[in-house]
């Protein structure tokens, strides 16, 4: 049945075919061993690290320099690693088993395959990310007042409005963009171990190098690095002292993701599977 539908789709210029390949990608990722646990890990790691950080903050009566939204969403820094691994495995799993040749025999247009994969992976990560971010914000809302971040000290409870909403929604988008960045690089690299090393290296390297530099260089590096720039979206206080404004920071990450997807798409098109 599906074979017939695919061939019909090809005749009618791709619309049905794209739904079919979305469905195929969904089936492949759904049946990949461990995928459920990886998605659960995004939620659990993000929320737990956020809650632990919130529980460790202190704010004496005279006030403190904390950013409640950023504190609550600290877990994203760990959750993003799992989101990246999900995206990488969605690609390299196919190369590891040789499944990619079947996939490309069924859908010869490589751009379509990559786009379908991107839609499914990003969708899954955005879904898990939404749960993770909501759990983190809830944990922050419950924990932070007990740590001295009370309205009396100038901290209204965390909510989903204004800058807090920007931080929360931006963090979900951040995870989606990290997944796209990882997906693009994984298509170019094809080996899961090397791809994981490269993507995590790329994400975490910039902040590490930045700490070793003098302030001018550090600021530039934090503007360029996909993680340090992208996480600017989480800031709700002290925006003027940040290297980039929240949305500009997320924009830098979006450029990285776009670049990685273009690179992946180009390599995918030019290279034998």
247 near other proteins, judged by CB under 8 A:
no
Between 9 and 264, whose beta carbon lies closer to other proteins? 264
DSSP string for residues in 72-132: HTTTHHHHHHHHHHHHHHHHHHHHHHTHHHHHHHH---HHHHHHHHHHHHHHHHHHHHHHH
| Contact mark string toward other proteins, 108..147, x via CB under 8 A | ----------------------------------------
Count of positions on this chain that bind other proteins (CB under 8 A):
52
- Candidates 10-18, 54-62, 118-126, 252-260; binding stretch for other proteins (CB under 8 A): 54-62
Residue 98 engages other proteins in binding (rule: CB under 8 A): no
To other proteins, the closest distance from the beta carbon of 245 in angstroms equals 17
The one segment of 158-166, 174-182, 234-242, 243-251 that binds other proteins by CB under 8 A: 234-242
Residue 38 CB, shortest distance to other proteins, in Å, is 9
Largest CA distance in the chain: 71
* Site membership for other proteins, residue 71 (CB under 8 A): yes
Q: Which residue has the tokens 């098109």?
A: 269
In the complex with other proteins, the residue whose CB is nearer, 79 or 176, is 79
d(CA 236, CA 161): 11
Using the rule CB under 8 A, is 80 a contact of other proteins?
Answer: no
- Which residues, including other chains, have CB under 8 Å from residue 2's CB and lie 6 or more apart? 20
29 Cβ contact list (under 8 Å, min separation 6): 35, 90, 120, 121, 124
The C-alpha atoms of residue 245 and residue 233 are separated, in whole angstroms, by 8
User: Does residue 196 belong to the site contacting other proteins (CB under 8 A)?
Assistant: yes
Does residue 201 interact with other proteins by CB under 8 A? yes
Helices 162-189 and 76-97 meet at what angle, rounded to 10?
Answer: 30
Q: Are 175 and 43 in contact (CB under 8 A)?
A: no
Asked if residue 238 binds other proteins (CB under 8 A), the reply is yes
- Binding-site ranges for other proteins (CB under 8 A): 34, 49, 52-53, 56-57, 62-68, 70-71, 73-74, 77-78, 81, 85, 88-89, 92-93, 96, 149, 153-155, 191-194, 196-197, 200-201, 204-205, 207-214, 217, 234, 237-238
């Amino acid at each position: 049945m599906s074979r017939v539908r695919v061939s019909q789709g090809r005749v009618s210029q791709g619309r049905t075919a794209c739904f079919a390949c979305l469905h195929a990608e969904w089936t492949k990722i759904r049946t990949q061993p461990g995928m459920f646990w990886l998605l659960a890990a995004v939620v659990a790691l993000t929320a737990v690290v956020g809650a632990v950080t919130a529980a460790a903050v202190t704010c004496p009566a005279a006030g403190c320099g904390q950013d409640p939204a950023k504190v609550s969403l600290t877990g994203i820094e760990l959750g993003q690693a799992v989101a990246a691994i999900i995206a990488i495995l969605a690609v390299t799993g196919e190369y590891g088993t040789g499944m990619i040749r079947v996939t490309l025999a069924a859908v010869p247009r490589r751009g379509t395959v990559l786009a379908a994969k991107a839609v499914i992976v990003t969708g899954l990560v955005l879904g898990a990310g939404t749960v993770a971010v909501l759990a983190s914000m809830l944990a922050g809302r419950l924990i932070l007042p007990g740590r001295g971040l009370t309205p009396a000290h100038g901290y209204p409870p965390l909510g989903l409005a204004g800058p807090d909403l920007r931080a929360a929604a931006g963090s979900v988008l951040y995870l989606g963009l990290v997944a796209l960045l990882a997906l693009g690089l994984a298509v170019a690299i094809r080996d899961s171990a090397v791809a994981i090393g490269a993507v995590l290296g790329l994400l975490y390297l910039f902040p590490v190098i930045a700490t070793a530099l003098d302030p001018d260089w550090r600021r530039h590096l934090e503007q360029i690095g996909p993680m340090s720039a992208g996480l600017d979206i989480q800031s709700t206080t002290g925006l003027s002292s940040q290297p980039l404004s929240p949305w500009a920071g997320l924009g830098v990450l979006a450029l990285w993701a776009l670049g990685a997807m273009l690179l992946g798409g180009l390599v995918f098109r030019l290279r034998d599977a």
